[in-house]
Structure 1
């Protein structure tokens, strides 16, 4: 059985790959990675921290996940990072995603925050989400 974390990530990737507006904002290709790409120019996004908590009962198995997508953009282009993060929010908030081995009960965007990274001076926008899943 696929883990709920990996199943949700795959579904997010599938949803994002099919969104022409998001692809356009990211330069024509989806740049959503597990790790920072070597020498990649921003704008790109990373799967950030995730926590999956078991909420199983005697009759049902499931998880509550809190996860993040972190968007990075070049110096002086906070607008680009915010536009990408807001598009992720638009396509993921309450989206009816199909998960392998799991059923998505709900997916909500809970927070969007923007900061300038002290070391690189790149803009970092973090989109936080909450998902509840059940095992088939």
Structure 2
């Protein structure tokens, strides 16, 4: 299985503990009730050594909210950071070696939507 798909499945498991969201998606959901989380995009590069097959993933998790202000989205963003940086374990032949927050930012638009984007660097190793 692809390292990217294995990591996405681990992310869904880790993010399922984030309270207050209606769902976790891997693309723009149709008719989802806000707030919700979207995983992606995910850029994967080689991170192999002489003895191990590894991948580095640069990915984002976006919390979408339709409420006024940014407080709720920032709260969800903090819970996402906690869940992702604490990730450990294996799935589908890949294990998380490290998870690091790169940056987070909040955007709002004139229609009242708020996006709280959290970007991470995760490294995985294949269980051979």
TM-score by structure 1 length? 0.84
Residues 15-54 of structure 1 aligned to structure 2 (within 5 Å): 15-17=14-16, 19=17, 22-23=18-19, 25-26=20-21, 29=22, 31-54=23-46
Match of 2:59 in 1: 67
Partner of 2:73: 81
CA shift, 1:16, in A, is 2.2
Q: How far is 1:91 from its partner?
A: 1.6
Alpha-carbon distance in 1 for matches of 2:12, 2:47: 25
Q: Name segments (4+ residues, structure 1) moved above 6 Å.
A: none
TM-score for both structures, normalised by structure 2: 0.88
Equivalent residues, number: 127
Q: Determine the structure 2 residue equivalent to 1:4.
A: 3
Structure 2, gaps ≥5 residues long: none
User: CA–CA distance in 2 between the matches of 1:121 and 1:57?
Assistant: 47
